[in-house]
Amino acid sequence: DTLDKGLEKSSQGFFDKISRAVVGKNTVDDEVLDDLEDVLIASDVGAETTIKIIKRIEERVAKDKYVNVSELDRILREEISGLLLENPHLHTDNIDTSKKPYVIMVVGVNGVGKTTTIGKLANQFKSQGLKVVLGAADTFRAAAVDQLVIWSERVGVPIVKQGMGSDPASVAFDTVQSAVAQNADVVIIDTAGRLHNKVNLMNELTKIKRVMQKVIPDAPHEVLLVLDGSTGQNAFEQAKQFTAATEVSALAVTKLDGTAKGGVVIGISDQFQVPVKYIGVGEKMEDLQIFNGMEFVDSFFK
Ligand code: GDP
C-alpha cells in the first residue's frame, strides 16, 4: 500500500546496510552491535534513541551469548516497536468533533511541506464530510498565500486571506469568525515559520492564539508542527525550538517517501512528548497518513 511504497527507500536502505554489517558473521558480537549502531545513526534515528535501542539489544545478547545474526531483524523490530508502544504520547485520535469548529494552527519553517500538508488535511477532512475553512496567516510570503489558494481550489474549500504583510493575527481572527458564521467543522490556519528570531516567533504565535480566543475561547485545539523528515537532524532541531517557543500538540513528518532516513520518525517519537500524528509519503493530495506506530514498523521492516 501507500505506506509500504512511501517507506520503501528507508526500509531498503536500512536492511541493505544491516546485511552489509553482518556479512560473514554468525553471532551478534560487539562488532555487529557497533555496526548496527552506525546503521541506526545513518538512518537518522538520532543518537539518544540509537543508544537506547543498542543497550536493549546488548542486554538480550548478554543473556544469550549465541544470538544468531539471522535473528537480528526480528530482535530489532521487537525493540523498536516496544519503544514506540511505550511512549504514551504516541497514541492520538483524529480530531475532536465535539469542538465545532475544531481549530488547527499549523506551524513550521518554510519549505518543510506545511502548505502541502494543510491541503492534504483539508482534503481528508472534506472527504470525511466535514466542512473546512483555511486561513492564510503566513502573510510574509506572497507565495505562501498563493500556494494555499491553489490548494483551496484544488480541494474545493473556502480560504480566508488578506493582503501581503497584513497582521497574521487579524487573518486568524477573520478565519475563525468566518468559520463560526459558516458553521464549519474544521479550521486550518497556516502561519509563518520564521525561526531566525525565537522571541518574535513566540510573540507572533502567542498573539495569533490570543486573538482567536476572542472568538473561540479554547482555540487552537491543536498546534501541528510540520517537520521535513528528509532533513534528519534539522528536523530534531526544529522540533526542539518550536516546542520551546509554543505549546505544540502534534507533529506531521513529511517527505518520508523521498528519503532513506525514515528512522527519523522513530527518534522523534521516542524523544518528544508530542505525538507524531501524520506522515507525508508523497506530493499528491492523498499522500498523507495518520501515523500508526505498529503499521510504521511493519512497513519499515518489510
Ligand atoms: P512550505 O513552504 O512548508 O509550505 O512547503 P510546501 O508545502 O510548499 O512544500 C515544499 C515542497 O515539498 C513542495 O514541492 C511539495 O510538493 C513537497 N512536499 C511536501 N510534502 C511532501 C511529501 O510528503 N513527499 C514529497 N515527496 N514531497 C513533499
ipTM: 0.98
Task: Name the 3-class secondary structure at 49.
Answer: helix
Q: Is 87 annotated as a binding residue?
A: no
Nearest CA residue ID for atom 13, ligand 1: 113
Contact in structure between 274 and 251 (CB atoms under 8 Å): yes
Distances, alpha carbon 150 to alpha carbons 145, 147, 153, 217, 261, in Å: 9, 5, 5, 30, 30
Query: How far is the C-alpha of 150 from the C-alpha of 172, rounded, in Å?
Result: 19
H or E element, residue 198: helix 198-212
Contact 158, 126 (CB under 8 A): no
The answer to whether the CB of 168 is under 6 A from ligand 1 is: no
The protein residue whose alpha carbon is closest to atom 2 in ligand 1 is 111
* DSSP run (H or E) holding 253: strand 250-254
Annotated ligand binding at 115? The verdict is yes
State the distance from the centre of ligand 1 to the C-alpha of 116, rounded, in angstroms: 5
In this structure, are strands 288-290 and 276-280 parallel, antiparallel, or unpaired?
Answer: antiparallel
Look at residue 159 and give its three-state secondary structure. strand
In the numeric block, which cell numbers belong to residue 89?
A: 504520547
Could you read off the pLDDT of 137-187 as tens digits, one per residue? 998 888 889 999 999 999 999 999 998 889 999 999 999 999 999 999 999
139 known ligand binder:
no
- pLDDT at position 195: 65
Residue 257 CB less than 6 A away from ligand 1: yes
Which residue, 192, 190, 105, is CA-closest to 140?
192
Closest among 5, 4, 2, 10 to 230, alpha carbons compared: 10
pTM of the predicted model, to two decimals?
A: 0.93
Residue pair 160/171 in contact by the 8 Å Cβ criterion: yes
120 ligand 1 Cβ < 6 A: no
pLDDT less than 50: residues of the chain:
none
C-alpha cell at 188: 486550518
| C-alpha–C-alpha distance, residues 62 and 220, integer Å | 49
Angstrom distance (rounded) from CA 142 to CA 203: 22
DSSP state for residue 206 in the 8-state scheme: H
